[in-house]
Amino acid sequence: MAKSRLQKKASGQVNKSKRSGLKSIVAIIVLFLMMGGMGIALYCWRLSVGIEERFSGRRWRIPSRVYSDVTILYPGQKINRVHLHAKLKNLGYCQVVQKPNISGEIRINDSDIEIFLKDFKIAEKGRPAYPLKIQFNGKEIESMVRMDTGEQVPILEIEPEELMLFFGAEREQRRLVSIRQIPDHLIHAVLAIEDNRFYRHPGVDPIGLVRALWTNIRSGAIRQGGSTITQQLAKNYFLTPDRTFSRKIKELLIAVTIEVFYKKEDILEIYLNEIYFGQKGSVSVNGIGEAADFYFGKTADRLAPEESAALAGLIKAPNRYSPFQDAGLCRVRRNMVLKAMLKEGWLSEQNFAELSSLPVRTSTYRTYGKTAPYFIDYVNKQVSLLYSPESLSSLGLAIYTTLDTQVQSAAEEALKKGLEKLERQNPRLRRSSKMKRLQGGILVMHPKTGAILAMVGGRDYNESQFNRIDQARRQPGSTIKPFVYLSALDDLMPTSLLSNEPKVYEINGKSWEPKNYKPMAEKELSMRKALAYSVNVATVDLAMKTGLERVVRTLEEFHFTTTLKPYPSVALGSFEVVPMELARAYCAFAADGIQPFPLSLRDVVDEKGEVLKRRYMTVSQLVHPAKAYLINSMLQSAVLYGTGRSLKGFGIDFPVAGKTGTTNDYKDAWFVGYTPEVLALVWVGFDNSDSIGLTGADAALPIWADLIKNIPQHVSESWFRIPEGIVERLVCSRSGDLGREGICPETEKETFLTNLAPDRLCRLHRQGFSKGMPEEQKEGN
């Protein structure tokens, strides 16, 4: 009894100790679990801080984009159809054979274009998408009619073209979209193919994992991934692509943490803006917004259901399923997505049948390339004063400029063709080294507003980034003469006679004798003819009569940054100027005496459409309009019968004012020409100042003509209005006095300033007097 009690006691002690041991083990396990749980909770809390930091701050670095100006079209407008088609192609309009029925499609016919315009907005202003027919009559737009309403469209704005992106080191292109802008069919397509239980799991989907595992075991290969959208986001956004166990655990923990702290809609929005959708050249296409634009040329909210399905299909292997790579494979994959949507009940049988039968119709393939590189460099100089490189590569700003891409293309082509032709016709101009090749530059401006429409700073940007329009300093030669003649207009008239007799001038103790390019018999000639024929000797005579100080003062008023000295050779352009300054100075003539400030940047807009900066047309009156008109009139003579007369032979048969320029030893060839609407400067020469042996009329003028013929939309073919302060008189061609009709052998109409017009009848010709005998008597009008 005692023994059994003892045994019982002993066994009770053993049981007790066993129980306490078990309890301890359990306690330890619980403790470890609790500690582990706390550790995981703490780790997740730490992760949540990181996630919060990433999600609350700027989630992505969005490169800022530089855009061209909008293009205006209107009935009656002359147009270069080749350039217009190229522009529409660059804008991603997709050519179709049937009538365009979705935004971004275009059908080009012989005499018309049917286009379903894309909508666009700049700073909350823009134009909605609608179908339009542009009817052409030869090279003119005959009419523009909306195909949906039959309404006539009197004026149309075509959206700006993307010229360049300010990339950061990662070279990612992305357009952010809000979940509210994303159509349901796109969300359904993505969920159907990537994570159909997205709204039912807490970030990790055990059912999905088991299903994926089973599928993979059955097929003997990895067919299905078990990652949820949240896991994919965690992987893309926070982790490296390493395939390690610890990284997978971390991915699960981040996914669960994200689900705890964020709503499903937020997660989906971030995911859709984050994912990789393929390559555009060297640049990666990220996010649904950029993908919608790249593949279908439209914003995400305007995607059609079959396009949404195609994009959702890309997520798995963007480059393999890219419609640009293999349209057939893309279609197979898209139909797989459509089938998944059907299975989830997000698509009806009928819709599935309709959509899966459609081909994949993409936008035109566009690689990333820097358009108008010299102009972009010029704009960058201004933009970089406003924003740091870091801001430009991350803030996603839209920078709108004045560039007209059609004019830019015409200018680039004209310079390329022109220089090649010169080399072909003049073998001495060829160089073996590309760096030493014949160079050129073109600047096209709107004279009244100062807007830069095109800038070509050299023959090939890849060879040389030196901008010969903005950075070079070259002697302007005779292109400076109009400013010299302008300074004389207070005292001299277009009929005033200038001496053309050789003369030696003393400069700093040295003799200098100006020479004409060709020997001339005339000992004196009128101011108009001296400028039209660009006569050096007569021009120096005019400068000396006017006073060199006054000539220099005039030039300084035109904002040339060169320090000028009052030497007689100033009148022949012996100092150096920046070509852009020369073009700007000429604008004052073309703009009725108003000099604009060159304008290249228009608006800087942030991601939300808020305007951050605006640049406006800034002008100042520099020359009296009547004097500007007189110079225009004299420069028209230069084109009609002077040094620029070959222009007509190139098909320029409308009124133009222009001036050629050739410097000493033929180092530089210039032509500056303009109408009231457009001004273009062309320079040709070698960077090392080798002689080209050609005049401005031979080398630069043909390039100018080629350019202007190709931008008919900027030329109205009308002449300048006659301003107040101008009178017209019939004058004797020989004396410059008022002509005696029927007596003077040759008379012509001449334009004068009202306060400086001839007031006496011809002294050379008078009835009863022998021809050529001067009449001393002054006769009033």
Q: How far is the CB of 77 from other proteins (least distance, A)?
A: 6
Smaller CB distance to other proteins: residue 228 or 747? 747
What are the residues facing 614 on neighbouring strands?
A: 603
What are the residues facing 679 on neighbouring strands?
A: 445, 674
User: Both ends of the chain: CA-CA distance in Å?
Assistant: 162
Smaller CB distance to other proteins: residue 242 or 741? 741
Smaller CB distance to other proteins: residue 729 or 734? 729
E-state strands within 615-746: 619-621, 657-662, 668-674, 679-685, 726-732
* Environment class of 179 (CB within 10 Å of its CB; exposed 0-12, middle 13-18, buried 19+): middle
Smaller CB distance to other proteins: residue 619 or 743? 619
* Residue partners of 72: CB distance under 8 A and separation at least 6: 155, 156, 157, 158
CB atoms near residue 419 (< 10 Å): 19
Residues that bind other proteins (CB under 8 A): 72, 74-77, 123, 125, 154-155, 446-449, 451, 591-592, 594, 602, 611, 614, 616-621, 625, 676-677, 716, 718, 720-730, 738, 749, 754, 781
Q: How many CA atoms lie within 13 A of 770 on its CB side?
A: 2
Q: How far is the CB of 375 from other proteins (least distance, A)?
A: 17
The sign one gets for the Cα dihedral 474, 479, 484, 487 is negative
249-285: string of b/e by CB count within 10 Å (b at 16+)? ebbbbbbbbbbeebeeeebbbbbbbbbbbbbbeebbb
The residues carrying an active-site annotation are 194, 478
Q: How far is the CB of 673 from other proteins (least distance, A)?
A: 16
Smaller CB distance to other proteins: residue 3 or 749? 749
| 717 vs 630: CA distance, rounded Å | 19
Q: How far is the CB of 591 from other proteins (least distance, A)?
A: 7
Smaller CB distance to other proteins: residue 199 or 616? 616
Q: How far is the CB of 59 from other proteins (least distance, A)?
A: 30
Q: How far is the CB of 386 from other proteins (least distance, A)?
A: 18
Smaller CB distance to other proteins: residue 468 or 763? 763
Residue 463, both tokens: 């060879």
Q: What is the largest CA-CA distance in the chain?
A: 176
Of 417, 630, 424, the closest CA to residue 531 belongs to 630
* Environment class of 165 (CB within 10 Å of its CB; exposed 0-12, middle 13-18, buried 19+): buried
CB atoms near residue 665 (< 10 Å): 11
| 352 vs 344: CA distance, rounded Å | 12
Q: How far is the CB of 486 from other proteins (least distance, A)?
A: 18
DSSP character for 78? B
DSSP 425-463: H-GGG--SSGGGS-EEEEEEE-TTT-BEEEEE-SS-TTT
Q: How far is the CB of 781 from other proteins (least distance, A)?
A: 7
Q: How many CA atoms lie within 13 A of 766 on its CB side?
A: 14
Smaller CB distance to other proteins: residue 393 or 449? 449
